[in-house]
Amino acid sequence: MAVGTKGFSLSRLRTRIWPKRISRLGRAEPFEKFLYVLLTLLSVFMLMPLVYIFNHALKPYHELFVYPPNVFVREPTLQNFTDLFLLTGSSVVPVTRYMFNSILVTLLTVVLVTIISAMCAYPLSKHRFPGSKLLFATILLTLMFVPEAVSITRYLVAGQMGIMNSYWGHLLPHLAAPVSVFLIKQFVDQVPNELLEAAKMDGAGEFMIFLRIVIPVVMPAIATVAILTFQGTWNSTETSALYMQDESMKTFAFFLSTMTGGLVNSVAQQGAAAAAAVILFLPNLIIFLFFQRKMIATMAHSGIK
């Protein structure tokens, strides 16, 4: 029985839409049909890790080590999540403290990196000052270095600044983001200079131009920077391992790495580790699903001037 609202019915909608889709597939070339089937199978295959990680977190203990392993859980339970929070309930640092540190550090890092990168990209793109080209070339040069190559230098600088065992030790190493500056600058380059000059003639200052004209244009790049920064910071264990000796200042990602780092813990606490992996992965999935279109638009236009 179809449900109607003001003359609209679901059955009528299906009658109009589905025949059109079927007719389009029917008119498709054999190679196009093959591509549809291939891409569908590939999509299902790429979803299997997501299905496995969620099912693995819901498995009871006797299903975690069964051989051959089961992809789908047979007797789902939430006991693994309960064990995760009970694991450190009697210790000095509970798991909620690690989660609080990760949430706070990630949110602050995303906001600061986005603001700093946008404010750095705008003058590099629309203003000419002595050394601007050299500065941008230096930023591009830093893209060649992996984080491990500068870890010792970062540690020495952090020690001299006195930011060990503080939230600044989590924040400052992530604020210099050359990839973020590059992505936003490529979008700012597309803003017509005539538009900025017209705004200046109307009496708008630099801050007003940056806030009202530039920022709306570069929103896809800003969304991409926010996603990349969120993923990098939320999953990072570097700052906790190098700059934090106080256990109460370490993050949830570091806590998860310690759970699976030793042979005894990886076997005895496998269920709690699976639950922690889902908690660590779920925010990344949600953020990406919400901003995937803006991220794709940024990657498509990052090389266009």
Q: What is the domain-level CATH number for residue 244?
A: 1.10.3720.10
Do 147 and 290 lie in one domain? The reply is yes
Do 225 and 258 lie in one domain? The reply is yes
Do 127 and 269 lie in one domain? The reply is yes
Q: 155-163: long-range contacts at Cβ-Cβ below 8 A with a sequence spacing of 24 or more?
A: 155/242, 155/243, 158/242, 158/243, 163/243
In the predicted structure, residue 28 carries a pLDDT above the cut 70: no
Q: What pLDDT, on a 0 to 100 scale, did the predictor assign at position 115?
A: 93
Do 179 and 281 lie in one domain? The reply is yes
- Identify which of 125, 112, 245, 109 has the alpha carbon closest to the alpha carbon of residue 184: 125
In the predicted structure, residue 13 carries a pLDDT above the cut 90: no
Do 157 and 285 lie in one domain? The reply is yes
Do 106 and 238 lie in one domain? The reply is yes
pLDDT tier, 14 (very low <50, low <70, confident <90, very high otherwise): very low
Q: What pLDDT, on a 0 to 100 scale, did the predictor assign at position 301?
A: 55
Q: Are 9 and 20 in contact (CB under 8 A)?
A: no
Helices (H), 58-94: 61-64, 79-87
pLDDT tier, 299 (very low <50, low <70, confident <90, very high otherwise): low
Q: Are 26 and 38 in contact (CB under 8 A)?
A: no
Give me the mean pLDDT over the 105-126 stretch: 92
In the predicted structure, residue 302 carries a pLDDT above the cut 70: no
DSSP code per residue over 109-168: HHHHHHHHHHHHHHHHHH---TTHHHHHHHHHHHTTS-GGGGHHHHHHHHHHHT-TTSHH
Task: List the domain range (segments joined by +) for residue 205.
Answer: 91-301
Q: What pLDDT, on a 0 to 100 scale, did the predictor assign at position 259?
A: 73
Q: 2 in a domain, yes or no? A: no
Q: By mean pLDDT, which of 17-21, 197-201, 295-299 is the weakest? A: 17-21
In the predicted structure, residue 190 carries a pLDDT above the cut 80: yes
As a whole-number percent, the residues of the chain with pLDDT over 90 amount to 11
In the predicted structure, residue 67 carries a pLDDT above the cut 70: yes
Token readout for 115 is 């603001």
**Residue whose pair of structure tokens reads 């813990």 in the numeric block:** 265
Do 96 and 186 lie in one domain? The reply is yes
Do 41 and 124 lie in one domain? The reply is no
Q: By mean pLDDT, which of 89-103, 172-186, 236-250, 263-277 is the weakest? A: 263-277
Do 100 and 247 lie in one domain? The reply is yes
Do 186 and 239 lie in one domain? The reply is yes
In the predicted structure, residue 223 carries a pLDDT above the cut 50: yes
Which has the higher per-residue pLDDT, 65 or 245?
245
**Residue whose pair of structure tokens reads 């900025």 in the numeric block:** 196
Do 110 and 241 lie in one domain? The reply is yes
Gap between the Cα atoms of 87 and 150, Å rounded: 35
